A and B are shown apart, each in its own frame.
Chain A
Amino acid sequence: MFRPLRMKHVLIQVLTEDLPQVSLTLAELSVFSPDNRAAYIDQFPVIPGDHYRELYHQASSRLEKIRKHVGLGDNIDLSEDTVPSEAVLAETNAWLGEMWERCSSYEETFRKLSDEERMLDQLDQALDNFAELKIDLSLLHGDKHFLDIRVGIIPKQNASQLSEALNLAGYLMFNYMIHDENIHIIVLGLKGERENEITSVLDTAGFHTLPVPEELHAEPDKVRRELQEKRQTLIRQRDQENRNMTACADEIRKELERCRKILITAEPFVQIDASARSSGYLSIITGWIPARDIKNTEKVLQQTLKNPFSIDTRDPTAEERELVPSYMPKSRLMAPFATLIKQYGIPRYGEIDPTGIFALTFIAMLGMMFGDIGHGLIIILAAWLARKKLKSFTLFAVSTGISATIFGALYGSIFGYEEIMHALWIAPLSDPIYMLTVALGWGIGFLLLITLISINNRIMDNDLTRAVFDNNGIVSIVLYVSVLFGIYSFYNNGHFGIITAIISITALLTLLGYKLIETHAPPGERMLVAAIETLETLTGYISNTLSFLRVAAFSLNHAALAIAVFTLAEMMESTGHWITVICGNIFILVLEGAIVTIQALRLEYYEGFSRFFSGDGKEFKPLHLHLEKRV
């Protein structure tokens, strides 16, 4: 359960023509993680499929863009498919290019329609404004002998700069309205050689001409009607374009689904990238496969390849360890815990898999802090009802609910009522000191377990020096246990104990000596750093142990909050009483539930993970077929 899945390095030798089929088979098996190192570059200098990759990426990008407009079915049947040849891929890419051009033209049309609608809105606003002006708008129309007049809109932020620029050319600019992010302006100047210059300045400033109707003053209703008609025309155009788009989607959907299949089967060959190398007719693929899957992989390759091949496997070398991917659990129960572990980091290959320990200790701590049968059952029910949204986290929530229910039975608490059933173990508030002692014991056990795992990981890393002397090494654990024993002895007998003191001091001095050797700095700084780090190791263990008191503190807090709710409820009439009890329980469930989850995670991440795994490993992500819906 805690041992990481063993990995084997594989070298598959095949004929170059079989390379695409090998990649497809490996992707179907979903057990192969490519190794892109250039280990065999001299014998196999060529990375095959450069052009194929480029075609694939372009085609894939086109398909994804088209899929934003054309919905495709969820079911993809690949049973009969083989890897497409480069010619087929090129043909697919070209067809997708044509289809994207069609879709892109619709996008551009919709954008232009939106622009026109925005302009109509602006014009609508401008007409309201003009209608109230006491000026003859006919003056703004037609070609004038002496005046160059323009009416339009510009982005608000360009107004002041544009006004000054126009002044330089002898023009005037009047702002008469601000609407949204635009400002409505009238530009006025003498006709002549500067008209082109002004057009250029206005273009640079993002000026849009507003076509103010001549008849606005004479026949305002007619103008309104025309504006409304234009708006209706735009709506009709949009509807028509939508219908055209739907017809286009229906027309190309079947072929598009065929293209999707082609791209799905082409993808593994693209993804193997530099892990495949060739030299003439012979090619190799290198990567990592879980040891348990080697035989089956060989068997399936024999069934699918028409030409001979060879597969060589070996264990990872010590130097390769940091390159070997770590397999993270995929089971439904463990997946959510693995996700939370990944938030911290991926364990290095060879390190103990923390998922099981994390799952057990997290669920136990959360239950201990939040023990209540009623609350636990509500969590289970809520998780089940929200299972579609929670997805893989449903089992996570259900397990925390079960844990809260079990601890609720041990504490004898149902929605905070402690008199309904007898506690199977203890009601937290009946003996707080006992609860704190249990939490302390739990913390000591947790830290000892974590330190032992850390020592194991160092040994697996062939780093014996750190396994013995580093923080969380054998010397540290000796120091921790001896100090704990000394404190226990002092508490019970009034003295620390000579042997215990000697062991503690020896361990402390050993740690100090190691730190002095390990620190690279001038003598004074080295002494200071080593002394502080040694002291920090000791205080770290003590403070981390005390940190677990919160497990008991929150169980007490849970009961105390329930008492506070009941005290408030007692002050109410019957309806108010039950409303207070229900609201109080919701408050406890939501607020305390969230706090307790964060506290349990904090204990796992900070007191646990930071001690035993570095989080800089590589996750095992096998080559696989992307059959899920992407858009």
Chain B
Amino acid sequence: MSVQETHTYLKARTAVMADRLYSPQLFDDLLQLSLEEVCAQSNLSELLDTGADESKLNLAVERALINTLMHELSILMRPLVGPARDILVHWTRKYELYNLKALIRGKLLGLSYDELRGNLHELPALISLPHENLLRTENIAELLRQLEVGQYGDIAIQARKVYEDKNEPFSLDATIDQRYYAGLLKRARLIPAEDRAPLMQLIGAVIDQQNLLWLLRYRFNYELSPSETYYLLLPFGHHLQRENLVALVNLNNTQQVMESLPESMLADLGQLLSHMDIEKTLEAMTAQQAQKSLKYSTSAITRSLAYLILREMDLGRLFAIIQGKVLNLDVALIREAAGLDSLQTETAHV
């Protein structure tokens, strides 16, 4: 396929696939259905037939939903080569990084093979770590030695240094997250110029969301210094640029940070103080940007990534609904846990 054909194909594909995205109304309808009906509508009935207990069922549903996402990713990746393909592959690596964190934490806590294995996502070979070998390692040092020679070697080498110097899971997690998003940015910069600007706008929105949450968490929950907090951020967001972050990390409480946000974020976030509310609003803002990109972007790769971001959010909400139904929770509670109120807001803004 020529570049032009690839773009046309991807735009057509994402337009068709966009129909799979859930509307707020559909989520509302799902909330009113029984667990069996929700699973039937989501092609997950087979999982209910296995008669697994609550935790196994939740795990099976999560795996099935991730498989759905991976399948759609493989469809979108098919015509892509080079940096465009790399960016989609790297985006999905977040799931393998969840596994990596689970493995490191599990080894630090001395969890058994079965306990650890049950917490790992099964992923395509393209992004997957050699789980069996890693699970069979007998301590964190051996685990890191094995990781250093694989495709996540750069992250593992950095993680080892942090582990040896600080010996705490939080620092490891923070370093892994930062390396992941830095990798996403690095790959986005290699994209051809015509795609780069819209793609950076979308990735910038994702990074804004992460930066603000990390900033609040590191500064006020873990009480890190401004300099260390800044080091763990990524000063390349869409709204939150270097100078904004430098100013924000030096503030002393959440209220000051929220009131000092740039104009473009102030209206939505300025009044919020609860970290949970801030997180939901940021997610809604990312979703708005993704929806705009999906509908109007001239870049096919940006549309593909936007679709994956939105689809991931939808599947996350669907998972929350199913989990709520499995646990027989109240509809209002499930609605809140699935973030369906912010979904109304984000759709209204596009």
List A residues at the B interface (Cβ < 8 Å): 54, 57-58, 61-62, 65, 97, 100-101, 104, 107-108, 111, 155, 157, 161-162, 164-166, 168-169, 171, 194, 197-198, 200-201, 203-206
Asked if B161 contacts A108 (CB within 8 A), the reply is: no
Asked if B113 contacts A204 (CB within 8 A), the reply is: no
Contacts of A165 in B (CB 8 A): 227-228, 230-231
Given A108-B145, A168-B246, also A157-B227 (CB < 8 A): no
B204 within 8 Å of A by Cβ?
Answer: no
Asked if A169 contacts B166 (CB within 8 A), the reply is: no
Query: Mind listing 17 A-B residue pairs with CB under 8 Å?
Result: A58-B136, A104-B141, A107-B145, A155-B158, A164-B230, A165-B230, A168-B226, A168-B250, A194-B225, A197-B225, A198-B227, A200-B166, A204-B162, A204-B174, A204-B231, A204-B232, A206-B162
Interchain CA distance A157-B136 in the complex, whole Å: 32
Asked if A61 contacts B145 (CB within 8 A), the reply is: no
B28 within 8 Å of A by Cβ?
Answer: no
Asked if B158 contacts A201 (CB within 8 A), the reply is: no
Interchain CA distance A169-B249 in the complex, whole Å: 11
Interchain CA distance A279-B340 in the complex, whole Å: 50
B142 within 8 Å of A by Cβ?
Answer: yes
Contacts of A203 in B (CB 8 A): 161-162, 165-166
Interchain CA distance A206-B157 in the complex, whole Å: 9
Interchain CA distance A83-B231 in the complex, whole Å: 58
Asked if B225 contacts A111 (CB within 8 A), the reply is: no
List B residues at the A interface (Cβ < 8 Å): 113-114, 133, 136, 138-139, 141-142, 145, 157-158, 161-162, 165-166, 171, 174-175, 182, 224-228, 230-232, 235, 242, 246, 249-250
Contacts of A101 in B (CB 8 A): 138
Interchain CA distance A166-B230 in the complex, whole Å: 9
Asked if A200 contacts B141 (CB within 8 A), the reply is: no
Cβ-neighbour of B231 out of A54, A107, A108, A161 (below 8 A): A161
Interchain CA distance A171-B228 in the complex, whole Å: 13
Closest Cβ of chain A to B4, distance in Å, is: 27
Contacts of B133 in A (CB 8 A): 61
Contacts of B231 in A (CB 8 A): 161-162, 165, 201, 204-205
Contacts of A205 in B (CB 8 A): 231
Contacts of A206 in B (CB 8 A): 157-158, 161-162
Asked if B249 contacts A168 (CB within 8 A), the reply is: yes
Additional 7 contacts, C-beta under 8 A, given A194-B225, A204-B171: A61-B133, A104-B139, A161-B230, A165-B231, A200-B228, A203-B161, A204-B228
Contacts of A57 in B (CB 8 A): 113, 136
Asked if A108 contacts B227 (CB within 8 A), the reply is: no
Asked if A169 contacts B225 (CB within 8 A), the reply is: yes
Contacts of B141 in A (CB 8 A): 104, 108
Asked if B228 contacts A197 (CB within 8 A), the reply is: yes
Given A161-B235, A168-B246, A168-B249, also A200-B225 (CB < 8 A): yes
Interchain CA distance A175-B231 in the complex, whole Å: 17
Cβ-neighbour of B138 out of A97, A169, A200 (below 8 A): A97
Interchain CA distance A204-B168 in the complex, whole Å: 11
Asked if A169 contacts B145 (CB within 8 A), the reply is: no
Closest Cβ of chain A to B226, distance in Å, is: 5
Interchain CA distance A326-B231 in the complex, whole Å: 59
Report the nearest A residue to B249, measured CB to CB.
A168
Contacts of A168 in B (CB 8 A): 226-227, 230, 246, 249-250
Interchain CA distance A197-B223 in the complex, whole Å: 11
Report the nearest A residue to B174, measured CB to CB.
A204
Contacts of A171 in B (CB 8 A): 227
Interchain CA distance A107-B143 in the complex, whole Å: 12
Interchain CA distance A206-B133 in the complex, whole Å: 27
Closest Cβ of chain A to B137, distance in Å, is: 9
Contacts of B230 in A (CB 8 A): 161, 164-165, 168
Asked if B225 contacts A204 (CB within 8 A), the reply is: no
Asked if A164 contacts B246 (CB within 8 A), the reply is: yes
Asked if A104 contacts B227 (CB within 8 A), the reply is: no
Contacts of B174 in A (CB 8 A): 204
